[in-house]
Amino acid sequence: MKFKKTNIPDVILCEPKVILDERGYFFESFKMDIFEAFIGYKVNFLQDNEAKSSKGVLRGLHYQDELFSQAKLVRVVQGKVLDIAVDIRKFSPTFGKYIALELSGENKLQLFIPRGFAHGYLVLEDDTIFSYKVDNMYNNSSEKGIIYNDKSLNIDWNFPESEMIISEKDKILPSFLEATYSK
C-alpha cells in the first residue's frame, strides 16, 4: 500500500498494490499497522458502511459534530464517484478548502478523511457501490451538513446540476458560512 498526502495534508490518498493474474485480482484494502505508521496516530474503525447508487446521485456534504465527529476511509467497490472532502476545522490553515478525487472500482484508490471534514460524493456510473469505514458511531442529533452548491466553496462537480439526484434533506442544508462547527 502506498500513501500520499493531498493538497490538504491530513487527507491521505491510499493506493493498494493490486496483484493481477488470469483468475482476477487480489489486494489488501486496509492494514492497520502501516496505515497508522503513516498518519502518525491511532484510528479505531468501528463500523463499515456500504451504499449502492445510480448515476447522478449526490450524497452530502455531511459531517457529524462534536463528540460524534467521524474519520472515514472511503472507497468504491464498483463504479465511479467524484469524492469531496471539505476542511471545516475552524483553526486549520486549509479551512474552507476541499479535495476532489475520482474513486472507482477500477483505480481502487481510497481516501482517508480525518475528523473535522464534511464529506460528499457524486455518483458517475450506474450501480456504483461505495464503501467506507468510520471511527465513531452515527448520532442523529449530531448530524450536520453543508449545501452541495455553496457559492463560497465553489465545488466543481463537473456534472449537470439538472441531472443530479439529491435527497430533499440535502437540498436544504445550510451554506458553508451558516453551518455550525464545534472547533
pLDDT of residue 180: 76
Residue 1 lies in a domain: no
Which candidate in 63, 98, 121, 132 is catalytic?
132
Residue 55 lies in a domain: yes
Which candidate in 62, 63, 138, 181 is catalytic?
62
Return d(Cα 41, Cα 158) in angstroms, integer: 35
Residue 117 lies in a domain: yes
pLDDT of residue 183: 54
Residue 67 lies in a domain: yes
The pLDDT of residue 11 is above 70: yes
The pLDDT of residue 4 is above 90: yes
pLDDT of residue 9: 95
Residue 40 lies in a domain: no
**pLDDT band at residue 182 using 50, 70 and 90 as cut-offs:** low
Return the CATH number at 103: 2.60.120.10
Domain hosting residue 117, numbered range: 45-171
Residue 160: φ, ψ to 5°:
-65, 125
Number of domains in the chain: 1
Residue pair 174/145 in contact (Cβ under 8 Å)? The answer is: yes
Distance, C-alpha 149 to centroid of its chain: 17
pLDDT of residue 117: 96
What average pLDDT does the chain have? Answer: 95
Q: What is the mean pLDDT of residues 141-168?
A: 96
The pLDDT of residue 171 is above 90: yes
Return d(Cα 22, Cα 32) in angstroms, integer: 29
- 63-116 confidence digits (pLDDT tens): 998 889 999 999 999 999 999 999 999 999 999 999 999 999 999 999 999 999
Residue 9 lies in a domain: no
Q: What is the mean pLDDT of residues 121-137?
A: 97
Q: What is the CA radius of gyration of the chain?
A: 16
Residue 90 lies in a domain: yes
Tell me the whole-structure pTM to 2 decimals. Answer: 0.94
Residue 97 lies in a domain: yes
Is 119 known to be catalytic?
no
